[in-house]
């Protein structure tokens, strides 16, 4: 039953369409599957860190207004900068997918990690998952269920990257430019939401 719980929680995250979702798609379209995979690795590392924090007793620190404020400001600023870049200067150079440097892949991964980790909403989700599973099972079984959730999240992110990379070949350059601008506008919307979050508490 713990396996099913973890699986369903992982699938449930598909309903949370946030900034990392659009960054993952944009990266895979822009840089191919390797770029998307790097973002997925960054995202899952952020999730693992959030899970560790939720499991091992720093909930009080994360709940502090100071942490929420700075996490929202930093996260919102990162998203705003990326969104403006995608809107004002969308990258249409999709011919270098097979020649991405390790440094480029590292940047994709770091961005995926930062967008995911510096987001109070992600912490809220993992605190909820931990509370839910530990209410149902003993600690060891709950941990197993949460690991399953991580595996499902990573697997679905890899599939998103693969799908985005495949359809990128079918999108004309001008339409691709418009797609990137839409992603940029959505990122800006998420950034405004994050920047306003501490003031709406």
Segment 91-127, tens digit of pLDDT: 655 444 545 566 688 889 999 998 888 877 888 788 8
Q: Quick one: pLDDT at residue 18?
A: 80
Q: Is the pLDDT of residue 60 over 70?
A: no
**What single string gives the DSSP state of each residue in the chain?**
-HHHHHHHHHHHGGG---HHHHHHHHHHHHH-HHHHHHHHHHHHHHHHHHHHHHHTT-HHHHTSHHHHHHHHHHHHHHHHHHHHHHHHS-----TTGGG--HHHHHHHHHHHHHHHHS-HHHHHHHHHHHHHHHHHS-HHHHHHHHHHHHHHHHHHHHHHHHHHHHHHTTS-HHHHHHHHHHHHHHHHHHHHHHHHGGGG-
Task: Please list, in sequence order, all residues whose beta carbon lies within 8 angstroms of the beta carbon of residue 181, skipping any fewer than 6 positions away.
Answer: 86, 87, 90
pTM over 0.75: yes
Domain layout of the chain by residue ranges: 21-126+157-200
Segment 17-58, tens digit of pLDDT: 788 888 898 888 888 899 999 999 999 999 999 898 888 765
Q: Quick one: pLDDT at residue 37?
A: 94
pLDDT band with cut points at 50, 70 and 90 for residue 191: confident
Segment 62-84, tens digit of pLDDT: 556 676 677 778 777 877 887 88
Q: Is the pLDDT of residue 152 over 90?
A: yes
Percent of the chain residues past pLDDT 70, beyond the cut = 82
Nearest in space to 34 (alpha carbons), one of 149, 168, 124, 126? 168
Task: Out of 26-35, 149-158, 167-176, pick the least confident.
Answer: 167-176
Q: Quick one: pLDDT at residue 113?
A: 93
Integer Cα distance of 149 and 144 in angstroms: 9
């Amino acid at each position: 039953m713990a396996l099913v719980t973890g699986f369903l929680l992982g699938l449930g995250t598909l309903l949370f369409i946030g900034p990392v979702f659009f960054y993952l798609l944009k990266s895979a379209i822009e840089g191919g599957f390797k770029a998307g995979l790097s973002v997925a690795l960054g995202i899952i590392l952020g999730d693992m860190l959030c899970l560790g924090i939720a499991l091992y007793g720093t909930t009080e620190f994360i709940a502090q207004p100071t942490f929420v404020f700075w996490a929202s400001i930093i996260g919102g600023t990162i998203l705003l900068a990326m969104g403006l870049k995608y809107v004002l200067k969308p990258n249409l150079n999709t011919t270098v997918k097979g020649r991405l440097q390790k440094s480029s892949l590292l940047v994709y991964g770091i961005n995926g990690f930062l967008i995911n980790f510096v987001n109070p909403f992600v912490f809220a989700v993992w605190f909820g998952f931990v509370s839910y599973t530990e209410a149902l099972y003993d600690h060891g079984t709950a941990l197993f269920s949460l690991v399953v959730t991580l595996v499902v999240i990573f697997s679905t992110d890899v599939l998103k990257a693969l799908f985005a990379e495949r359809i990128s070949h079918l999108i004309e350059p001008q339409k691709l430019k418009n797609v990137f601008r839409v992603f940029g506008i959505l990122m800006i919307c998420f950034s405004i939401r994050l920047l306003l979050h501490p003031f709406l508490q």
